[in-house]
Amino acid sequence: MGATRIRPYRAEDREGVRAVCFTTGYMGDPVAWQWRDRESFADLFSGWYTDHAPESALVAVDEDDQVVGYLLGCRDTTQVTLPPRLVAHHLVRRGLLVRPGTAPVVWRTIGDLVVAATRRRLPPSQVVDDRWPAHLHIDLLPAARGDGTGRRLMTRWLDALREEGVAGCHLVTWAENDGAVAFFEAMGFRREGARQPMLGLRSPEGLRHHSQLMVQPLDGPVVS
């Protein structure tokens, strides 16, 4: 693949973003083995950003202007919502509770929630902290990795936040994804707090996955 370009998200990029989201949904690899329904997965993990904060989204495109990666962000995390009606639509009308490709994860998530609630260890639904009010999600197709595309996406987003005076930015990544953690650390993020068990998600071997919060104050030196 030729060199990628970084540009602002456009409405016509929506399907491309959704495709990348699903193709990279399991630590950068396809998630279909665990969650087979692309529409619900893309709605839950990219839909809010493309539909409600398109001005904060960036895409990486190839020589044919096809989306090969993206950075979806929000300057104020408190604005992000997952409408109950959307969740109900997928659980009931799309049959996620009984669909073979999604039901195991859904029911396992419910079970994990019950156990966490019993132990009073419910994870926060989102990170709200005035020190790093913005957040981001970044994903790249394999062909767009290793050529600096990820760094260019991150740099453009973080520079924009600095110019606007945003205090800081955070992200949540898979704690087991050593490559992603190392990349974010190279971009100036640091781990904040202990890793937390993920609800419902397991490895192909059945092992529990964990999330890691990473943060970056934006009033310090710029990472080159």
The CATH architecture assigned to 5-217 reads 3-Layer(aba) Sandwich (3.40)
Number of H helices, E strands in the chain: 7, 8
Rounded CA gap, 81 and 103, in Å?
23
Q: Taking the domains of the chain in order of start, what are their residue ranges?
A: 5-217
User: Kind of pairing, strands 168-174 and 208-217?
Assistant: antiparallel
Q: What pLDDT is stored for residue 2 in this prediction?
A: 56
Q: What is the pTM of this model?
A: 0.91
Task: Specify the amino acid at residue 69.
Answer: G
CB 66 within 8 A of CB 10: no
Rounded CA gap, 99 and 103, in Å?
5
CB 77 within 8 A of CB 135: yes
Q: What pLDDT is stored for residue 222 in this prediction?
A: 53
Beta partners for residue 67, in sequence order: 61
| Angle formed at CA 25 by CA 207 and CA 98, multiple of 5 degrees | 75
Contacts of 33 (CB under 8 A, 6+ apart): 26, 204
Residue 191 DSSP symbol? E
pLDDT in tens, the chain (224 residues): 458 999 999 999 999 999 999 999 999 999 999 999 999 999 999 999 999 999 999 999 999 999 999 999 999 999 988 766 777 778 887 889 998 899 999 999 999 989 988 888 777 777 899 999 999 999 999 999 999 999 999 999 999 999 999 999 999 999 999 999 999 999 999 999 999 999 999 999 999 999 999 999 998 555 54
Rounded CA gap, 140 and 171, in Å?
16
